[in-house]
Structure 1
Amino acid sequence: MAGPSHYIMPLPAFDKPVKILIVASPYYKDISDNQIAGAKAEIEKAGGSWDIVEVPGALEIPTAIGIAERMSNFDGYVALGCVIRGETTHYDTVCNDSSRALQLLGLQGVCIGNGILTVENYDQAMVRADPAQMNKGGGAAAAALHLIALARKWGETSKGVGFTREILLAGDPGTSTT
């Protein structure tokens, strides 16, 4: 029996090009390749461009995004990797720490779609990574695109943020110089 379906938001439209960095860990290369294919297709569907960097594992993904955010000009990021439960608690550390680091970057205003799979076994990972099935790489790219659209919308607002200070110059009409 199939589970409940979920709503997928339509992709946002952009008036200026979007440039996204896909940061992928190819630890499980076939899974990573599927995730990347899904992400690329989603970004291209929205008219965006992408670049890719690879890092050794899921723990390095947030660090690479942090470096790129400080030193490059990407609008957003897609984090792609896969952590499969093993026999030790290392699984919990990698899942929790990579997720927490991405969340902290996001709370600083970095537009990130988190596509790091955390699964019990290889078969679960393949279903989630496959663009023809669950397409979690495409979903992470869509999340990044939606956050970029929000950042652009709110970044172009005409209203002030916080307090404003008017400077009155001597000699302006209505000001006093005493």
Structure 2
Amino acid sequence: MTARYAIAVGRFYEDLAARLERGARAAFAEAGVEDVDTFDVPGAFELPLAAKYLAESGRYAGVACLGAVIRGETDHYDYVCAESARGIQAVQLETGVPCAFGVLTVANMEQALARAGGDKRDQGRHAAEAVMAMAAIRTQLP
């Protein structure tokens, strides 16, 4: 029996969210993980609370948090990026359940597409791989 994982996806940029989720699901499938549940949230700012709910449920070995924040004309970008990263990190440190930060923090849509399964990297895949790697450490401890 393999571990069960969760994906929390900020859907503010739906196309990017779908691409990130595809990448994460592909990584889980390639690792032989069949039991993956997806939970949608409005955007990146809501990911930490979703991760906390999922981590505290006791059902998941880890949570891949996915989303995108694209810089605009105001400081909103800085706050959302910082607080979503800080919140996701806090959840994993408080609960001991790995939570990967698979949130694109980019200047424009071109950069986002390149990092959501485009020519640069697949951040969804990377988040799933990271959360599985961290969960594996737990199983190796006496």
Instruction: Return the TM-score normalized by structure 2.
Output: 0.94
Deviation at 1:72, TM superposition (A): 4.3
Amino acid at match of 1:37: R
Match of 2:54 among 57, 68, 86: 68
Give the number of the structure whose residues are more often strand, by fraction. Answer: 2
Alpha-carbon distance in 2 for matches of 1:114, 1:151: 19
Matched, 1:26 2:26: no
Match of 2:73 among 87, 110, 121: 87
Match of 1:144 among 108, 131, 140: 131
Match of 2:22 among 13, 33, 37: 37
CA, structure 1 residues 72+131, in 2 after alignment: closer, same or farther (shift >3 Å)?
farther
Tell me if the contact between 2:54 and 2:63 (Cα under 8 Å) persists in the aligned partners: no
User: Identity over the aligned pairs, expressed in percent?
Assistant: 36
Larger Rg: 1
Match of 2:116 among 102, 114, 129: 129
**Structure 1 residues 138-147 or 45-54, which shifts more?**
45-54
What are the superposed Cα offsets for residues 31-76 of structure 1, whole Å, 9 maximum, x if unpaired?
1111000000001111112110100011111101101122241110
Alpha-carbon distance in 1 for matches of 2:133, 2:69: 25
Alpha-carbon distance in 2 for matches of 1:113, 1:140: 5
Give the number of the structure whose residues are more often helix, by fraction. Answer: 2
Amino acid at match of 1:60: E
Tell me if the contact between 1:34 and 1:131 (Cα under 8 Å) persists in the aligned partners: no
Alpha-carbon distance in 2 for matches of 1:131, 1:106: 28
Instruction: Return the TM-score normalized by structure 1.
Output: 0.75
SS at match of 1:59: helix
Amino acid at match of 1:116: V
Amino acid at match of 2:21: I
Deviation at 1:112, TM superposition (A): 1.3
